[in-house]
Structure 1
């Protein structure tokens, strides 16, 4: 079994905050192999375009676009293109709970968005200050400055995210329930495909849970569960040597022929063909 590589904050910096500028002409390069991180990444494309994949969903980014990856999301650069980008890597200990909540909410139904000119200018200046100080000898005073500057970067991006979310007119109560459901789903070793299982854990009815999740994400609870199951299956097909039967069992589906039909219907190709295609 081959695990997806995971990068840790201490590998980048013993402080937990690191930043870099990447471009076709710079010695720094974007990491083009699939991996996970145990920290947050905030990125802004200054110019050009590139294509990234986050949890098997491709997205083309261009000048002004921002992206945030959550800890442990599977991602990689599909095509670096001619993009010039600024990246901030920051340990979750430096991000407060309300901010984490906003960033988690954005992942429920992510929509790419651009920063306005003022926000882009502010971020460019902050990144410039961070990059300059990171090259200096570390001391306690410098760490405090880096933490404050990084907090400002996160704050600008989070504020833009909050405004975008606010335009979607979603009930706060519905969002909170959906986030709680998502947390339950991701915390279990095996996915339970029964809607009632999660409704009971949240002390609400299955009908109400379905209404809530659909209002926030646009899909039913059953479809959301299925999407998570398919996502985990894709990860195991692409990055492990487990057999189809073993993957099916790992996902809590005893009948691997049923799993094969389910995967084929959702993805358009069988698990075997998907694995071959992905490894080409």
Structure 2
């Protein structure tokens, strides 16, 4: 049983995959705009048997989501591949996946825990500022026993209310209130770890805003000055702010985002290098290949050959 199979996996064969699937929450969520499940050994066995088992596990379920994912692992061990970084999880681990991040399960043992998929519109700007602060990959957060119990209590009540009659009085405001309590707690934990909060420095604020814009526009906008213009600052000031907050320039992060998106497509799709270059907004695929090699220290084809053995 694989943890990522709880994440609404759409199983596909690698040979027929042309792009990375995007799973939409509206296809499975109830009218409240989110989904919650408790997973334990065997709890999804019958449903997974209906899907069949003839797909290579290494490629099973690689996808993006148009929503946030939160999960809490109470017991057991699991590993996810998140944007080409392997993240191991043990008991008391709390984690979230941002919309657009490619992920799939690569290793699991018997696990118990919680999975929550949430429409982005249900997450306030303040909370999103915490979750989206880091330009690099977010890390699992280890809860102490008291924090774990608090989360379990809220999630247990949330699941009970979620599974009740959706036509009952005040169904949506009640489940949304409980959901907000949990998301607020998660934001609080990560805020303390990352030293983020309401009093952010100007460089950190710009870094967060830049990251959000970069994720939305990377396929069409590559110019540092364009991002500076969208943020109503000069290019030099944006460069200075990012270097102060992250140690790297605007151009560095644009190249990193382009190459990360390219790696996703090289690994999970059957698009060739020229098609990927055009997909990412480059008419000159040779220029794109040079950019990839300069950033990743290998060519696109070398990356594909090395990682798709």
Q: In which range does the TM-score fall when normalised by the shorter chain?
A: 0.7 to 0.9
* Alignment partner of 1:3 is 2:3: no
**Aligned with 1:85 (options 94, 113, 116):** 113
* Alignment partner of 1:213 is 2:213: no
**Aligned with 2:164 (options 124, 133, 136):** 136
2-structure distance, mates of 1:36, 1:193: 22
* Alignment partner of 1:101 is 2:129: yes
Is the partner of 1:139 in helix, strand or coil? coil
Residue in 2 that maps onto 1:271: 300
Give the RMSD, CA atoms, in angstroms.
2.9
Residue in 2 that maps onto 1:161: 190
Residue in 1 that maps onto 2:289: 260
2-structure distance, mates of 1:136, 1:192: 46
CA shift digits 1:189-229 (9 cap, x unpaired): 63544433333443433333222112323432222111101
How many pairs does the alignment contain? 280
Contact 2:67/2:98 (<8 A) preserved: yes
Residue in 2 that maps onto 1:27: 44
1-structure distance, mates of 2:38, 2:241: 41
Q: CA deviation at 1:52?
A: 1.0
Residue in 2 that maps onto 1:14: 30
CA shift digits 1:84-121 (9 cap, x unpaired): 22111122232222222222224556343222322111
Residues 47-56 or 268-277, more deviating: 268-277
2-structure distance, mates of 1:218, 1:84: 39
Contact 2:72/2:93 (<8 A) preserved: yes
- The correspondence of residues 28-107 of structure 1 with structure 2, limited to 5 A, is 32-106=60-134
Q: CA deviation at 1:134?
A: 3.4
Q: CA deviation at 1:81?
A: 2.7
* Alignment partner of 1:125 is 2:153: yes
Q: CA deviation at 1:144?
A: 3.1
Judged with a 3 Å threshold, the aligned counterparts in structure 2 of structure 1 residues 167 and 173 are, in CA distance, closer, same or farther, namely: closer
Judged with a 3 Å threshold, the aligned counterparts in structure 2 of structure 1 residues 262 and 81 are, in CA distance, closer, same or farther, namely: farther
Residue in 1 that maps onto 2:269: 240
Is the partner of 2:38 in helix, strand or coil? strand
Q: TM-score, normalising length from structure 2?
A: 0.78
Residue in 2 that maps onto 1:190: 219
Residue in 1 that maps onto 2:208: 179
Residue in 2 that maps onto 1:115: 143
Contact 1:214/1:220 (<8 A) preserved: yes
Q: CA deviation at 1:272?
A: 1.7
Judged with a 3 Å threshold, the aligned counterparts in structure 2 of structure 1 residues 25 and 250 are, in CA distance, closer, same or farther, namely: closer
* Alignment partner of 1:223 is 2:252: yes
Q: CA deviation at 1:160?
A: 0.8
2-structure distance, mates of 1:134, 1:148: 12
2-structure distance, mates of 1:167, 1:95: 17
Contact 1:191/1:229 (<8 A) preserved: no
Residue in 1 that maps onto 2:11: none
Contact 2:94/2:142 (<8 A) preserved: yes
